[in-house]
Structure 1
């Protein structure tokens, strides 16, 4: 599962007419956590066989991120693209993706635990609910044995072990692996890999349940972030350590 998001190194804006993300205002990249999901899917394929299909919901420019995912080693892709999906919130997105997945055969759905543009962190759980499948969220390690899947989820006291039967939905965190860099050979091969275009109608999506007008959440106001204030400078005149400690204590860091 791949989402194209604005590059966090560039300025991000909302469209003034409807307060939705202005995707044309900045370069689009693969959501960082989704790169870890791609890598984990590729590792599972290398260990257990099968194939990796990239599913992405987004406008035309999301094709660039889909091709990047294919150049990492995925076998094929499905691009859910329809104007009716514009402005869909996290729950509507999960619904739409569940319908798109209904057109595919799969054993495990792997996605990042959140996106850098919305940071709701709910799509994985909502997707599993729509599909009626087990959800294994915030995975730091994934193991599959036969039809059983097991993850480790880091906690303050160590980690939890969560186990379920396939098929299942898994969301991963950034500590799970190290995403590979596409080789020149894979980049060239990616240009020839199939990308299926899927409209809302073809996926069986009820358009009355998606889009800005029927979203359960709404952005009512937004303002540009203020410029970063000048930091506190401590000059060491023999008491620099004490001043630093006093500053940290005032901020309740110590």
Structure 2
């Protein structure tokens, strides 16, 4: 069984600058980490590997420094990893990102199961996983909160639909996106760090893809544009009130009236 996990490097801080011309985040030189939701995706793949036998390959798209999160996945137990990196991929929206990932997966060859985190903390769209499945023309299940059974030809999962929980069986090859909490992610292993420190991470660019039409990648392939993005103002004003319980309650009522909250 071949499992592919899609992972992404995201900013590790809220202090991120935005390119005023393109509206995209400036990622170079910013402290980064693996997208938290992707940690759950990696853990899910490793649990399936341990219980059913499988190979786990991670795939990421981003600048060359994104390779560090692939190395982190190695330290968790992933078997191999690939980075899709090319300046022509920069500024991609969810559609162009999904298409780029689909081309990368075509390059990698056969797979049975793709696992993605539900969403990323820098975009929060939860669209890339389902769109990737559509480009690959395979079935998908989003918001997976539990793996019930892995069969030879299919996987049975629970999907959290907010008001209902549905049980679904889907045939391989397929894609699932997993919720936080499906399995607690394991910590990277120092032993695996030493063992995998020299493990090769292939870099693939546009020239390696079957479809080399530049209009389908990066900003050129993105039908959506960010018109404006900004950091919310931080309000740190505070007041300390002294008095009896009735006096403080009255002050609180007046303050809520002032803010037009009541």
TM > 0.5 fold call: yes
Distance apart, 1:32 and its partner CA:
0.5
Instruction: Please give the alpha-carbon distance, in whole angstroms, between the structure 2 residues aligned to 1:220 and 1:229.
Output: 28
Which of 209, 212, 220 is the aligned partner of 2:216? 209
Distance apart, 1:38 and its partner CA:
0.5
Aligned to 2:113: 108
Aligned to 1:30: 34
Aligned to 1:119: 124
1:174-219 per-residue CA deviation (whole Å, 9 max, x = no partner) reads 0201100012101112213231211112122432111113311111
Partner-residue secondary structure (3-state), 1:99: helix
Confirm whether residue 166 of structure 1 aligns to residue 172 of structure 2: yes
Aligned to 2:229: 222
Contact persistence 1:234–1:243 (CA under 8 A):
no
Confirm whether residue 152 of structure 1 aligns to residue 158 of structure 2: yes
Aligned to 2:67: 63
Aligned to 2:10: 5
Which of 78, 90, 96 is the aligned partner of 2:82? 78
Gaps of 5+ in 1: none
More divergent stretch after superposition (171-180 vs 227-236) = 227-236
Query: CA distance change for structure 1 residues 71 and 147 in 2, over 3 Å: closer, same or farther?
Result: same
Partner-residue secondary structure (3-state), 1:24: coil
Instruction: Please give the alpha-carbon distance, in whole angstroms, between the structure 1 residues aligned to 2:159 and 2:220.
Output: 37
Contact persistence 1:234–1:240 (CA under 8 A):
no
Query: CA distance change for structure 1 residues 234 and 203 in 2, over 3 Å: closer, same or farther?
Result: farther
Query: CA distance change for structure 1 residues 227 and 75 in 2, over 3 Å: closer, same or farther?
Result: same
Contact persistence 2:46–2:56 (CA under 8 A):
yes
Query: CA distance change for structure 1 residues 227 and 167 in 2, over 3 Å: closer, same or farther?
Result: same
Query: CA distance change for structure 1 residues 221 and 194 in 2, over 3 Å: closer, same or farther?
Result: same
Instruction: Please give the alpha-carbon distance, in whole angstroms, between the structure 2 residues aligned to 1:193 and 1:86.
Output: 26
Query: CA distance change for structure 1 residues 216 and 240 in 2, over 3 Å: closer, same or farther?
Result: farther
Instruction: Please give the alpha-carbon distance, in whole angstroms, between the structure 1 residues aligned to 2:70 and 2:219.
Output: 24
Which of 113, 132, 140 is the aligned partner of 1:135? 140
Partner-residue secondary structure (3-state), 1:29: strand
Partner-residue secondary structure (3-state), 1:161: strand
Aligned pairs, number: 253
Contact persistence 2:242–2:248 (CA under 8 A):
no
Query: CA distance change for structure 1 residues 223 and 189 in 2, over 3 Å: closer, same or farther?
Result: same
Query: CA distance change for structure 1 residues 246 and 133 in 2, over 3 Å: closer, same or farther?
Result: farther
Instruction: Please give the alpha-carbon distance, in whole angstroms, between the structure 1 residues aligned to 2:251 and 2:127.
Output: 40
More divergent stretch after superposition (9-18 vs 140-149) = 9-18
Contact persistence 2:7–2:59 (CA under 8 A):
yes
Query: CA distance change for structure 1 residues 48 and 235 in 2, over 3 Å: closer, same or farther?
Result: farther
Instruction: Please give the alpha-carbon distance, in whole angstroms, between the structure 1 residues aligned to 2:238 and 2:151.
Output: 52
Aligned to 1:95: 99
Distance apart, 1:16 and its partner CA:
2.9
Contact persistence 1:75–1:193 (CA under 8 A):
no
